[in-house]
Every structure is written in structure tokens, then in C-alpha cells.
Amino acid sequence: MTIKIFNYPVSKRLIMLILGDLLIVNGSIFLSAILRLGLNAGWGYIQSNPWSFILTGWIYIITFFSTELYDIRKDFKSIGNVMAITFASTSAFIITTLLFYMNWSLRIGRGVFILNGVLITLFIIGWRILYSYLLEQPIFKRNVLIIGAGWAGKTILQEINRSQKSGLRIVGFIDDDPLKKGKLVEGLPVLGNRYTLDNAIRQNDVDLIVAAITHEKHADLIKALINCSWKGIDIIDMPAIYEQLTGKIPFKHINNMWMLHIAIGKPKLYSRLIKPIIETCIALVLFILLIPVMPIIAILIKCNSRGRVFYTQERIGKDGKKFTIMKFRTMVENAESRTGAVYASDNDPRITKIGRFLRKWRLDEIPQLLNVIKGDMSLIGPRPEREVFIREFEEKIPFYTQRLLVRPGLTGWAQAKYPYASSIEQTEEKLQYDLYYIKNMSFILDVVVFLKTIRVVLFGKGK
């Protein structure tokens, strides 16, 4: 629900989040001064430097706003959002430091200042995690109305029901089909059409509307949704909430214009300049560190089966450019001489004993660090695919070639979230994760994928 401040509707959840942050920021300032200087001296220090501490608090709050940490739909328990909070706190700390050095009279003692930054970061992370847990309780659940009782509406209903910690409660559907009025769809009622939207909202205390319509929206519906938004009711499109709940993009529910808006609106500095430099440096360091391991792997491969140590294959990279990928050989020599190009499967007889071990711990991928250093690949991105499969998939799967907008990766969001794909259906599922990565590519997401990949390697969850 919402309340009005200066006649403008504001979510109670947002107010609770901001008040919690203000309390923590100010409490951390007070606590850091006391821990560093003692109770009396600490309180006196704060009284003698009020503007410095007020400025510090506001910089943290403004930084949280600019990094979208006041999006009340986020799950702050996720690793990605914890990383985002840490990044925002670090940024606020750096900004405050620069301002203090620009105006020396505002400067706070180094010990108090550093302790304050650490406390704010830790307490904010703890508070946001607690906030997300609180919202999962029945008393805090949001009542949701779905516009459209067709395929898209049913799909998002299933995902919300599957995500027990979403904090959402579906009250029903709105649909213009007269045959659906008053009927149950997936066990929930169709409460009316676009002309009875206001009544449905009032009667069911709705504070979130999901627009799940695959066809063009009627002008009257768009007008009604705009009015709802001005009244403080959150409006979200089906692909957006599906993305939040699953970490995937529902490619069957998007169109070319949706992809165009993503391409136009996405900042490209990180993907074009910062990401390649960082990943090249990391790949170079990893390759040097793993040099002692590679001869041992080579000896094991030669002792286990006849043939080459390395396996090379042509793959398709960014913008359809061809390049040669290199891996340690994990299958028998000339494995596809009889079968042609086919996916590897569970218990594939072509995989050698050593090859199965290398795949399990992802050791066969080590030579691909050279592809990253050369610039053919990234450390993080959609996995590179063979041309024969790409031609097949682009005919059967919408938006499949969008994977070629970015450099392919040694590992990726799809690999971290979904097992090996060996069918069209599984490839479609992985594409949804790849599209999510392309849309949300950032340093924080790359760190999350990297950490998940380390977990896979350490616990031998490769395939």
C-alpha cells in the first residue's frame, strides 16, 4: 500500500527502507565515534563536526538511490544485491573522501571515518537482508492483479507461485475476453475487464499490477494503467517481473522493439572497454598460475588414450566472427567421424575416463584462457557455439542470434544457473539466461558468475 506525502503517493515499503537506512547511517556515525574516542569524547566530536557527519550520511543515501538500491522489488538476500550494496558503500566512501580533501575543514579523523564506512556497509547489508525476510511474511505480502489471463498471465502466475519467497499474493486476473469473465483461470478468478479495473483494485486492495498481454494494448487500458500509476500503484510488465523472479528473459513474450530498447538504453563503456581489459589481465594471471598443472594433464591424457592432447574446433564469436577454440581432449580421437556433429550426452561412451574427470572439474577449459587473452572470448559470457548448431537454432528459436552481440565466454550466467543442454528445449531454457546476462551485463553480475563458477569447480559440478 501507499501513503501520500505532499499529495504524491509513496510506497510504505520504500519509506520503511529509507528510514531504516537513515537510522543505520546516523547510528553508525555515532557508534564509530564512541568506539574510537569513548562515549563523552565521541559525542563531543560529533557535536563539533555536525556538517561533516550530515554530509557523510546524505552522500551514502544519495549513492544508494543512484545505484537503484531503493527498488523495493529487489531481493536483497541475493549475492548480486549484497555485492551491489558493498559497491555502493565503497563508492560513497570514496566520494566522501574526495570531498573532505577538497574542503579540509570538513575532514573527519581517519580512524572514525574508516570505522564509520565499515559499520555502515555491514549494518546496511544486515538490514537489507532482514528487510527482504520481513517482506516474505504473510503480513507484508503484496496483492497482485494480473492483466491478461492468457499464456503470459498463466506463465507469470506459475512463476510467482513457484517463488515462495517473492512476497506476492495473486488476487486474480483482468481480461477483456467475455468468455473468461467470472471464470477461474489456474484456480484464480477473472475479476472483470479493463473498464472495471478500478473496482477490482479497490475491492482487493491491489498495490501491484502485472501487465501480461502479448498483443498490442488497447488505448483505454493504457490510460487506465497510467491513472493507476499516478495513484501510487506499481505497474510492471510481465518480462520484467519474470526476469526478477527467475534470472531469465522470457523470449517468447518479447519482440524486436523490446530488444531495440535494451540495445539503445544499455551503457556500453563497461562491455566495450573496461570488461575486456579486466578479463585479459585476469586470464593472463590465471594462465601463468596454471602452467605447472597443464603438463600433468597432458601426460594423463596421453596415458589414457591415443591421440592428440589438445582438441581444436571452429566456433562462432561476437558478430558472427569465426575463431578456433582450444581445449584439452576429453573424448576419443575423431569422436564425430561416425556420428557427425552431435551434442555430448550423459554417460557418453566417447568420453574417456580422464576426460570425464577433466570435465567434472572444468580442467579441460584451461587452454581457452589463450582465447580470452587473444580477444576471441571473454571470461564471462554466453558459451561459444558451432556454426552448424547456430544455423539450426536460429531457425527454431527466436532471438537465438542475439547471443552473438557479445563475446562468448569461458563460463556464463547460463552455465552457472542451468546444467548442460542436450536438446532444443534445454537450449531454449539456456537462451533465456543468456539474454538476461546480455541485458544486465555489469561488473557486479560478472563477479557473481565468477564466484558461482569457482563453486562449480571446487565441488566438481561440471559436466
Which grid cell sits at 199?
473496482
Q: What is the pLDDT of residue 8?
A: 43
Task: Output helix, strand, coil percentages for the chain, rounded to the nearest 5.
Answer: 60, 10, 30
Q: What is the pLDDT of residue 377?
A: 96
The rounded distance, in Å, linking the Cα atoms of 98 and 95 is 5
Q: What is the pLDDT of residue 421?
A: 75
Q: What is the pLDDT of residue 363?
A: 92
Sheet holding 234-237, edge to edge: 168-174, 142-147, 208-211, 234-237
Q: Is 454 helix (H, G, I), strand (E, B) or coil?
A: helix
Q: What is the pLDDT of residue 171?
A: 95
Look up the CATH architecture of domain 141-246: 3-Layer(aba) Sandwich (3.40)
Q: What are the start and end residues of each CATH 3.40.50.720 domain in the chain?
A: 141-246
Can you name the residues that pair with 99 across neighbouring β-strands?
none
The rounded distance, in Å, linking the Cα atoms of 246 and 162 is 10
Q: What is the pLDDT of residue 366?
A: 95
- Extract the residue ranges of the chain whose pLDDT is less than 70: 1-12, 73, 103-109, 164-165, 265-267, 337-346, 459-463
The rounded distance, in Å, linking the Cα atoms of 144 and 196 is 16
Evaluate whether 64 touches 90 at the Cβ level (below 8 Å): no
The rounded distance, in Å, linking the Cα atoms of 460 and 455 is 8
- Output the furthest CA–CA distance in the chain (Å, rounded): 83
Report pTM: 0.74
